[in-house]
Amino acid sequence: MEFMIQLAVILACLLYGARKGGIALGLLGGIGLVILVFVFHLEPGKPPIDVMLVIISVVAASATLQASGGLDVMLQIAERLLRRNPKYVSIVAPFVTCILTILCGTGHVVYTILPIIYDVAIKNNIRPERPMAASSIGAQMGIIASPVSVAVVSLVAMLGNYTFNGRHLEFLDLLAITIPSTLLGILAIGIFSWFRGKDLDKDPVFQQFISVPENYHYVYGDTATLLDKKLPKSNWLAMWIFLATIAAVAILGAVSALRPVFDGKPLSMVLVIQMFMLVSGALIIIATKTNPASISKNEVFRSGMIAIVAVYGIAWMAETMFGAHLEEIKATLGQLVSQYPWAYALVLLIVSKFVNSQAAALAALVPLALAIGVDPAYIIASAPACYGYYILPTYPSDLAAIQFDRSGTTHIGRFVINHSFIAVGLIGVSVSCLFGWILAAAYGFL
């Protein structure tokens, strides 16, 4: 009975924090933690210090990239790609947003490109819902495939001390599974989106709407573009510094002999990521004369700091709760998950919806899964399931896609659950998990 009450406290904090949004999610974890420690007298767990330090370094580098204008270069290149292939925008657009996320480590880059995706679609009489919904989903799916995302570096930090059939997990081992499985999931949602919904000329609701001249002008409007902006060389330099740093991290992850050895072991990739991300930000500031004061004011920095607080509060609360009842949880869930490994992926998907964060979902569930004996290989194979917050259309990128689609085809249905993103999300995540398992088996982890 006491366990159920404590679990109810955690769920209440998660649900209320998710409703409030933003930094409230992590702060509500503090309320749950105080109740667990001072009311139920549970010994406090350990806060996820390594994970938080990695997040800080990655966010600092990514925010510096945005402040320096390097992100504008990436967005301009993305727009050129979209406008060269307007007929295939439903397939190309989600790949573009996914790759932008992989390179930058955050799905929030999608906001700038969404108006351009809408413009390309509507000017070619393509139902905007097709690329808009797919692009929002694609941007968030790219997080688990990004070497500089909070979710990936958190997962590496949590699994860094585990071996898989006698083989130590390396940074690139994880990406070798998550990148191709994610891209195959993106391909699946692109193909689905190509055929979804009625063509605009056959949609009576849309035709009736644009029959009013004011509505017609509102829908087709002016052209949104970044191509008319002439970007200075410093923006390009910032982008190349950032990409070169990511390449260096990848090489060090692939070739452990390049890392210094301490106590007989190569330097941890968790520390390597932290060092090189700080170096990346520093080099950008030095080479481009970026104003350091502007770094903390942009969207990437703001969303990253929110992620740190969310991971801090949620993970510490969950560690305290589940650590105190580890034996009971093992007895209840251990056998179930060992018999049905897919159950872990399903639980991860649901937790992700509760917390609206892939990194927070992983931080809350992975330590518990490892403690009850879930094979770490299953955790890697099921990594794409950490994205479940498309189930309800409450995430900012989904809401932005609805707002930017002036045609009204990207929408929330009458029953809320029947919205433009749910089918795309289910298809993308399911296909990614399927190929994650196939690739994990092919690489010898399973």
Report in angstroms the alpha-carbon separations of 10 from 27, 41, 329, 341, 392.
Answer: 12, 15, 15, 24, 21
Going by C-alpha positions, the residue among 73, 71, 62 that lies closest to residue 231 is 73
Residue 428 CB neighbour total at 10 angstroms? 30
Distance of CA 396 to the CA centre of its chain: 13
Ramachandran quadrant class, 427 (left: phi over 0; alpha: psi -120 to 50; beta: rest) = alpha
Q: What is the pLDDT of residue 21?
A: 63
pTM of the full structure:
0.77
Q: What is the pLDDT of residue 139?
A: 94
Going by C-alpha positions, the residue among 356, 366, 369, 246 that lies closest to residue 307 is 356
* pLDDT above 70 (res 200): yes
Q: What is the pLDDT of residue 240?
A: 95
CB-based contacts of 343: which residues, under 8 Å, 6+ apart? 336, 337
CB-based contacts of 298: which residues, under 8 Å, 6+ apart? 63, 66, 67
Name the H helices within 124-232: 129-141, 150-159, 171-195, 204-210, 213-220
How many helices and strands (H and E) does the chain possess?
22, 4
Burial class (CB in 10 A: 0-12, 13-18, 19+), 5: exposed
Q: Which residue has the tokens 């190309």?
A: 92
Token pair belonging to 361: 């979902």
**pLDDT, average across residues 336-347:** 80
Q: What is the pLDDT of residue 91?
A: 95
| 279-299 pLDDT, tens digit each | 999 999 999 989 999 998 887
Mean of all residue pLDDT scores within the chain: 86
DSSP state of 36: I
**Selected residue with higher pLDDT from 123 and 163:** 123
Residue 81: domain span: 2-442
Distance from C-alpha of 280 to C-alpha of 249, rounded to nearest angstrom: 11
**pLDDT, average across residues 336-348:** 81
392: pLDDT confidence band, cut at 50, 70 and 90? Answer: confident
Q: What is the pLDDT of residue 315?
A: 75
Highest mean pLDDT among 132-141, 241-250, 268-277: 132-141
168: pLDDT confidence band, cut at 50, 70 and 90? Answer: low
**pLDDT, average across residues 253-277:** 84
Distance from C-alpha of 89 to C-alpha of 325, rounded to nearest angstrom: 50
Own/partner contacts of 262-267, CB < 8 Å, gap of 24 or more, are none
Q: What is the CA radius of gyration of the chain?
A: 22
| 201-256 pLDDT, tens digit each | 999 999 999 999 999 998 988 776 778 788 999 999 999 999 999 888 878 877 77
The torsion defined by the Cα of 358, 114, 241 and 69, in degrees rounded to 10, comes to -120
Q: What's the structural domain count of the chain?
A: 1
Cβ 325 vs Cβ 3: under 8 Å: yes
Cα 52-55-56 angle, rounded to 5 deg:
90
Q: What is the pLDDT of residue 164?
A: 66
pLDDT cut 70: percent of the chain above it: 94
Q: What is the pLDDT of residue 115?
A: 87
Cα 6-10-11 angle, rounded to 5 deg:
115
Q: Which residue has the tokens 């609701």?
A: 205
Residue-wise burial string across 381-390, b where 16 or more C-beta atoms lie within 10 A, e elsewhere? bbbbbbbbbb
Cβ 385 vs Cβ 346: under 8 Å: yes
Q: What is the pLDDT of residue 143?
A: 93
| 302-338 pLDDT, tens digit each | 877 877 887 788 778 877 887 787 677 666 666 677 6
